[in-house]
Structure 1
Amino acid sequence: MSDITVNPGEGNAASLPLSPAQDLSEVGDWLALLKPRVMSLVVFTGLVGLLLAPGRLHPVLALTAILCIAVGAGAAGAINMWYDRDIDAVMRRTARRPIPAGRIQPGAALGFGISLAIGSVIVMGLATNAVAAAALAFSIAFYVFVYTIWLKRRTPQNIVIGGAAGAFPPVIGWAAVTGDVTLEPLVLFAIIFFWTPPHFWSLSLWAHADYARAGVPMLPVVAGARETRRQILLYTILLAPLGLAPWALGLAGPAYAVVAAALGLGFLWHAIAVWRERQDEAGRSLAGDAAAKRAFRFSLLHLSLLFAALPADRLLFG
């Protein structure tokens, strides 16, 4: 029997109810597991795929489909944080995440992610169709098993191949309406797929020390900054004309084509600036990676405006 006693009137600090601020903080930690900033882009591109698809989905079912995409993406993010908790703990930009900071237990995070993943796929299947549910399940599995567990710690091509996971949402949104996958959503997939490497490599140029400390073989760590700059430029050269493919296929009109061309040229200008930034002999920036930071910020604007232009073009011009 324990020799620790508590005065009846004093209570036990461990059993005291949480204050409202503590409650909100804990809720915030669970939401942080879902990687909400990443989720917002996933939800947006999934919504665009749904809006562009031929046919009609009841608004309640459409909202349910988008919610399933969001929850599925969040589930993959939570499982990713569970698996990467060791490297997150040694990287400055991730050390304060809920698991490495000790605010959420790893097992609880894993259970949370698995439950959300299974639930999102089941609800997607019930609300829409089996094709959309299968695409959602495949995207979650790809992010967890192919990118997080297999590629991320083994190859500098982790972002190239693993980036496919983030390119699935417009395909899922399209399939939720049509029940199939045709060339049009695959073009949207390709745009995100080729956008991902220059986007993440711009980030990794100025965060390479974090990745090196954690032993993650990002391209700047393995191949050096100069090769990373070259790859950013090459992928952006491929991406710029690819942005015009929806117009060429008749999925969007000339207004979209003008926006896509301007955004493609803008991204290319930033990629050239990254390539030409003042460097030392190893290709490391002598200007604090200012060009890479600007390219990273523009890449977010590029994809957001490009996908926003697709439904806007249809709404305004038919």
Structure 2
Amino acid sequence: MTAIDNELGGDLVLSEATGRDYFALLKPRVMSLVVFTAFAGLFLAPGPINPVMGAIAILCIAVGAGAAGALNMWYDADIDAIMSRTAKRPIPAGKVRRDEALAFGIALSCFSVATLGLAINWFAAGLLAFTIFYYAVFYTMWLKRATPQNIVIGGAAGAFPPMIGWAAVTGGISLDSVILFSITFLWTPPHFWALALFKKGDYDDVGIPMMPNVAGEASTKNQMVVYAVLTAIAGVAPWFTGLASPFYAVFAAALGGYFVYHSLKVRAMAEGDQKMVPAKKMFGYSLFYLSAIFAALIVDRAAMLMIG
């Protein structure tokens, strides 16, 4: 009997979850990207921050992201049990009960927001609280199952971390932090639609209205190209505001150009292609792209600081 079965009619028993199972609830791979982009926002922000305070801020953002992931798994346990890429998650695998995941997510949410507010500033804490709510409630509980624009609108949740990192230093937002937000926001649709193309059957099985399932492959591919171009432009934008150097701009332009190239390869992919190789390659490259862009921003700023 799985944890889900227990809640739906069997005897309620404590799960035998390990620390590793609870850690899996935090979506560590997603968390690592969140931490990295949040650190970039903190590092790029004008003004000093005590290293210990900076570490506390990043830890709170990481815990908040993990809390949102746990709440997402709690709510999506029904569809996670059906989809091939999520069936082994802790709840559908019977390792963690849904109510335990809910309590875990709420506790971590409260801890991360309160700690960030008390230790750093309440503006950053408010942004973190809004991000958790946006992802766990607005996206997971509503958008995801209601509209094929779920990823477009819901992508804001994953784009807030660099803005939160920036706010931890400055106590506010600026054009530069909005640009950092925009890079991830515009990157999210082509990234997830690439996945949705080769996992279309999974989304059909659970009735999630992803773009390829609702609008079809051709429309999805065309929109991926548009968003890839916008992402490439946003990636170069830090140079226009003076946040980054011309060296960064050249590197970002090259990365963005290759991102667009991958989107064009996906658009040229034959309708109904079973192997979906271009889509899989774009999904893989998209992960590299986002990491490389923020790494380049960090390296560029470090070099500028060394040069003086």
Match of 1:285 in 2: 273
Match of 2:206 in 1: 214
Match of 1:312 in 2: 299
Summarize deviations over 1:190-211 as a string: whole Å, max 9, x none.
1100000000000110011011
Query: Identity of paired residues, percent?
Result: 57
Q: Distance in 2 between matches of 1:77 and 1:314?
A: 31
Q: In structure 2, do the counterparts of structure 1 residues 55 and 317 end up closer, same or farther at CA, with 3 Å as the change threshold?
A: closer
Summarize deviations over 1:117-152 as a string: whole Å, max 9, x none.
010000000111011000000100000111001100
Q: Which letter does structure 1 place at the counterpart of 2:150? A: N
Q: Distance in 1 between matches of 2:169 and 2:91?
A: 37
Structure 2 residue runs without a partner (length 5+): 1-12
- Aligned: 1:146 with 2:133: no
Match of 1:296 in 2: 283
Match of 1:59 in 2: 51
User: Which structure has the larger Rg over C-alpha atoms?
Assistant: 1
- Aligned: 1:76 with 2:64: no
- Aligned: 1:275 with 2:267: yes
Q: 2:189 aligns with which of 193, 197, 212?
A: 197
Structure 1 residue runs without a partner (length 5+): 1-13, 15-21
Question: Post-superposition shift, 1:316?
Answer: 1.6
Question: Post-superposition shift, 1:317?
Answer: 3.1
Q: 2:20 aligns with which of 25, 28, 49?
A: 28
- Aligned: 1:257 with 2:244: no
Q: Distance in 2 between matches of 1:126 and 1:301?
A: 35
Question: Post-superposition shift, 1:231?
Answer: 1.1
Match of 1:119 in 2: 111
Q: Distance in 2 between matches of 1:303 and 1:179?
A: 25
Match of 1:18 in 2: none
RMSD between aligned residues: 1.6
Would you identify which runs of 4 or more consecutive aligned residues in structure 1 move more than 3 Å?
A: none
* Contact 1:226-1:284 within 8 A present in 2 as well: no
Q: Which letter does structure 1 place at the counterpart of 2:276? A: D
Match of 1:242 in 2: 234
Question: Post-superposition shift, 1:240?
Answer: 1.2
Q: Distance in 2 between matches of 1:58 and 1:314?
A: 18
Q: Distance in 1 between matches of 2:101 and 2:89?
A: 12
Q: Distance in 2 between matches of 1:173 and 1:310?
A: 14
Match of 1:155 in 2: 147
SS in 1 for 2:145: coil
Question: Post-superposition shift, 1:61?
Answer: 0.7
Question: Post-superposition shift, 1:239?
Answer: 1.4
Match of 2:85 in 1: 93
Structure 2 matches for 1:38-49, cutoff 5 A?
38-49=30-41
- How many residue pairs align between the two structures? 293
* Contact 1:139-1:165 within 8 A present in 2 as well: yes
Question: Post-superposition shift, 1:65?
Answer: 0.3
Q: Given the two structures, how large is their TM-score scaled by the length of structure 1?
A: 0.90
